[in-house]
Amino acid sequence: QLELNYYSKSCPKAEEIIKEQVTQLYNKHGNTAVSWVRNLFHDCVVKSCDASLLLATVSDVVSEQTSDRSFGMRNFKYVNTIKAAVEKECPFTVSCADIVALSARDAIALLGGPSIEMKTGRKDSKESYAMEVEDLIPNHNDSMSSVLSRFQAIGIDVEATVALLGAHSVGRVHCKNLVHRLYPTIDSTLDPAHAEYLRRRCPTPNPDPKAVLYSRNDLKTPMIIDNNYYKNILQHKGLLTVDEELATDPRTASYVQKMANDNEYFNQQFSRAIILLSETNPLTGDEGEIRKDCRYLNAN
């Protein structure tokens, strides 16, 4: 059972230490906060928020980070910084899964999004689910039906799904995920002027995977979680195919319109949705373990 302040007796400073680390990292490398938000999605959708995402590839473990769906994910090394600070205060007490959840919560607040009250008490998985990642995390060009049913399968309703995509109000998309909308011809659903801009950001149809070519998601408030995402997609300036679909699909369009009109309503729905996502099917009690190092299973 997850509960508020699960560590109040075993490690009363845990949440404070995590927040302090997340803030320090944000001040040095602002995009770490963006990463913590994406980490929550990619971890929680795969089985649960159980830090399965954080396992590195070693002898008999294949990391979920090697999946194509994890393309562009960054800053994993700084999770170790947060975990080390927590271990120093309370060894073997605070799970990596709760660090994934709380770092996302703190990042959302730092990025100008809502302040969210979050339960804790998650345990860490004893395995990586690399082979299941592609079945569970939607692709950038999946149909809205497929996206909605994947979220629905983990208890996230349509309105909450629309709110979660608001995370694309920060961060970036690499050209690899964009060029199919730009070449050989421009996707007719894309705003023509924005398409021209994106062609300048991504000048060739086959971007060199080693060259870091990307566009920011939101040109107006690129580092703020706000409802500008919905304004962008209503103007057909969403970068991914799923962003465009969200604005036009009859099941989602009215929520998009409401969120575009009202940042307060977006914040409320985003908070609700982040809680649903973060409480999906947790490992609790005797299940799982508390990893010493988030990259590796404990030796037994």
User: Which residues sit at the interface with ligand HEM, rule CB under 6 A?
Assistant: 34-35, 37-38, 41, 71-72, 74, 138-140, 147, 164-165, 167-168, 170-174, 177, 240, 242
* Helix (H) and strand (E) counts in the chain: 12, 2
Per-position DSSP letters for 60-80, written without gaps between them: TB--GGGSGGGTT---HHHHH
How many angstroms separate the CA atoms of 267 and 274, rounded? 10
124 contacts Ca ion (rule: CB under 5 A): no
The answer to whether 236 is a known catalytic residue is no
The answer to the question of whether 168 is labelled as a binding residue is yes
Strands in 127-241 per DSSP E: 172-174, 214-216
**Which token pair is 25?**
């990292």
Given 47, 105, 181, 237, the residue binding Ca ion (CB under 5 A): 47
The answer to the question of whether 293 is labelled as a binding residue is no
Q: Which stretch binds Ca ion (CB under 5 A): 188-196, 213-221, 232-240, 251-259?
A: 213-221
Binding partner at 36 among Ca ion, ligand HEM, none, C-beta below 5 to 8 Å by kind:
none
Given 43, 243, 244, 279, the residue binding Ca ion (CB under 5 A): 43
- With respect to ligand HEM, which residue has the nearer C-beta, 177 or 227? 177
- With respect to Ca ion, which residue has the nearer C-beta, 18 or 46? 46
Sign of CA dihedral 273, 274, 280, 285: negative
How many angstroms separate the CA atoms of 75 and 52, rounded? 16
50 contacts Ca ion (rule: CB under 5 A): yes
What's the CA angle centered on 124, arms 291 and 128, to 5 degrees? 100
The answer to the question of whether 262 is labelled as a binding residue is no
Query: Which residue numbers are catalytic?
Result: 42
